[in-house]
Structure 1
Amino acid sequence: MAPPQRVPSSPPSSAELRSLVLDYLCHSGYVNTARALARGCSPRLDADGDEIMSATLDSAPLPEDALQEARKREEIRRHLLLGEVDAATDLLAREFPSVLSGEGEAPAPASSRSTYVPRTSVDPAHLVLNLRIQAFIEACRTRPPPGSPDAEATASDAPQPTPRLSEEELIAKGTKLYALAKRLPNARDRRTYEEELGHVSALLLYRPPEDERSLAKYMSQARRAAVAEQINSAILYRMGRPVISRLEYYTRYTSTIWSFMHDLRIKAKPGAPVPPTKAADGGAPQQGKATVPEEQPVPQFSIQDFLDARS
């Protein structure tokens, strides 16, 4: 019996690519951009079955409940990126109360992508502590971090290098954080957070704390973004949504497959596509058919090289 013929995979259609982008935009909370894309790129077919692009067509229907949820997540993210932790916490407690309370079980996964767990904790006790720690950091801050949305707005104001609260108030907030950490039921979690609070409390020793290099990671915009990403993932988890977008899912899948092939020293078939590799002269990576010698496995996959080769 002859082996079954493998059907060659076809490239994704423009509709499939649009769906992929729309999923990413909604997942990340970019609702207005998602609406604009759906409205401006709705497809129609001509008499020959070819797709025609028209900016005047009505948008393909996007689930309104998902859009409204994404808009709320976007607002929470915006507050956190601006350092407005209390506003973000209030909105989170009002719109997604189970995230911080933990009441009720998370809905059953809607798809196989939901089997991916968030990279960060969704434990309500951890989320509350992380938000309170970030609020303490923001209270110690004397100026917006570089690259933040609020940095340009205050660039011309020349603010005084003083925190928002008095030293006594900051010490009181720090004491409450330690008390909150001691209430964690898991001993390992308590040790982790107490160690973290030891570093964060050092913000009280420097004026302004932004100028102390050892504390730079706590005062950076990246710290705000990390908290925002954790909260966004926790919301998706509690709402039963996939915790990663389809784009991230496909990226993970592709990276894993190529990495296994490389580690297992599997050789690519003649003419088969392989991951791009850097040019011998150090130039931009080249994307194309297999060019590796027969005795060598397929190259290691690098997402950065892949993006550079496509640019």
Structure 2
Amino acid sequence: MKKSGEQVRVNFGQLPFAFDIDGLMKNEKNIIRQEILATSTDKLAPTKSETDLIQQLVLQFLQHDGYVDTARAFAKEIWEEKSALAMHSDEPILHTDSLAGIRRAVLEGDIDEAIILTKASYPDVLAKNESVLFRLKCCKLIEMIRKEAELNLVHGSNASNASNVSNASNKLETKDNGTIRANGHSHQGMDVDDVVMVEDNSGSQAQPEGRALVDEALRYGQMIQIEFRSEYRPLYRNSLNEIFSLLAYANPFKQPEVAHLFDQRHRVRTAEYLNSAILASTGKSSRSALENLYAQTSVLLQDLRQNGGPGCFVTCKDFVDEIPQPDTL
């Protein structure tokens, strides 16, 4: 500034920039996107076209993760498309895999059936993978508590701020006589090591079936603790404490702190965890080719970003976000 009264105005984004930086970024991204789309996949799979390669990656992923019925339907669709185009190709042969039954059992919440099927087809998996067995049993405990919570909703508990534990004519109390209150606040200090059953004289009108379900869940949770006591890691303890905290709410389905345990995605993650252990036991990769490809691409892009350049303008998520969601199809 050379003269009195001159001013400098800066813009940190509170106003539109005079220079169209967003337009420049969008243009650069489009250039990189076109280069990616124009890249040949011949070197990845010399004997397959890009369409065939993608179809095989998807098909292998479905088979790998135990979606046998979906994989069979997808393979049939591929074969029908090729036939319609007069392309001679043998229909992929899919064998029914016990993985499908195991996965289906977990996704339906029938953990006992999943354990039975796993032991029958892959006897070494649970014996050699303590963490997998622990996760399955925790999933079963969640399903047991889910039944009581659903029963509580059906009968419409009238107790204001009453927990499922109180509705079952029991209270949870720690060894230092600190009662786990029914208002959902004091359950944070709950430790499965210290849980004992005490009589409730509050006159709660609980359904007998609900009381039985809570009692059964508590006994099963304590059995899990005893079974894994020799290797009772903090992670195990925290997992059980979180699951038991479900009992501190009248309607755990509506509590953000614990509702995720009832989400179907929790079953899916458990099924995938078990599926990976089974595949590893058979000498196969715990991840499908498509998952490996995605992970490798992400790492390569991250490496390219270190020194700037094209890698800064594209991410795998950019492409994933463009996939139409079911509710928009």
| Distance in 2 of aligned mates of 1:201 and 1:249 | 36
Whole-Å separation in 2 of the counterparts to 1:307 and 1:167: 42
Amino acid at match of 2:125: V
Identity of matched residues, %? 27
Is 1:137 aligned to 2:129, yes or no?
no
Higher mean C-alpha deviation, range 231-240 or range 174-183: 174-183
2:130 to 79, 102, 125: 125
Counterparts in 2 of 1:188-199, with a 5 A limit?
A: 190-199=233-242
State the alpha-carbon separation in 1 of the partners of residues 282 and 211 from structure 2: 35
> How does the TM-score come out when normalised to structure 2?
0.60
Alignment TM-score, normalising by the size of structure 1: 0.63
Contact 2:109 2:267 in 1 (8 A): yes
Q: Is 1:216 equivalent to 2:259 in the alignment?
A: yes
Change (3 A) 1:37 1:24: same
Do 1:137 and 1:219's aligned partners in 2 also have CA atoms closer than 8 Å?
yes
> 2:226 — aligned with what?
179
1:79 equivalent in alignment to 2:105: yes
Tell me what 1:291 maps to. Answer: none
User: 2:312 — aligned with what?
Assistant: 299
Report the Cα distance in structure 1 between the residues aligned to 2:41 and 2:149, rounded to whole angstroms: 45
Runs of 4+ in 1 over 6 A off after TM superposition: 55-58
- 1:29 maps onto 2:59 in alignment: no
Q: Which residue of 2 is the match for residue 114 of structure 1?
A: none
Aligned counterparts of 2:138 and 2:304: Cα–Cα separation in 1:
43
Q: Structure 2 CA distance, aligned partners of 1:301 and 1:193?
A: 39
In the other structure, the counterpart of 1:277 is none
Is the Cα contact below 8 Å between 2:297 and 2:316 reproduced in 1?
Answer: no
Contact 1:142 1:160 in 2 (8 A): no
Q: Distance in 2 between matches of 1:159 and 1:59?
A: 53
Distance in 2 (alpha carbons) for counterparts of 1:144 and 1:180: 26
Q: CA deviation at 1:35?
A: 2.7
> Contact conserved, 2:65 with 2:272, CA < 8 A, in 1?
no
Q: 1:167 aligns with which of 189, 214, 220?
A: 214
**Alpha-carbon distance, 1:30 to partner:** 2.3
Structure 1 pair 144/73, CA: closer, same or farther in 2 (3 Å)?
farther
Unaligned runs of 5+ in 1: 1-7, 45-50, 103-123, 146-153, 269-297
Q: 1:197 to 1:258 in 2, by over 3 A?
A: same
Q: 1:55 to 1:220 in 2, by over 3 A?
A: farther
1:41 equivalent to 2:88? Answer no
Higher helix share: 2
Flag structure 2 segments of 5+ consecutive residues without an equivalent: 1-37, 43-48, 157-208, 325-329
Q: Is the 8 A contact 1:15 1:43 kept in 2?
A: no
State whether structure 2 residue 303 is matched by structure 1 residue 260: yes
Find 1:247's aligned residue among 284, 290, 299: 290
| 2: CA distance, partners of 1:168 / 1:36 | 44
For residues 76 and 85 of structure 2, the distance between their equivalents in structure 1, rounded to whole angstroms, comes to 9
Mapped partners of 1:163, 1:303: distance in 2 = 48
Name the aligned partner's letter for residue 304 of structure 1.
K
> Does the 8 A contact of 1:25 with 1:34 survive in 2?
yes
Larger radius of gyration: 2
Deviation string for 1:124-177 (max 9, x for gaps)? 2111111111111110114899xxxxxxxx9xxx84467594332222112112
Letter in 1 for 2:319: F
Measure how far apart 1:86 and its partner are: 0.9
**Code of the aligned partner of 1:10:** S
Closer, same or farther in 2 for the Cα pair 1:34/1:196, shift >3 Å? closer
Q: How many angstroms does 1:180 deviate by?
A: 2.1
Query: 1:307: how far off?
Result: 3.0
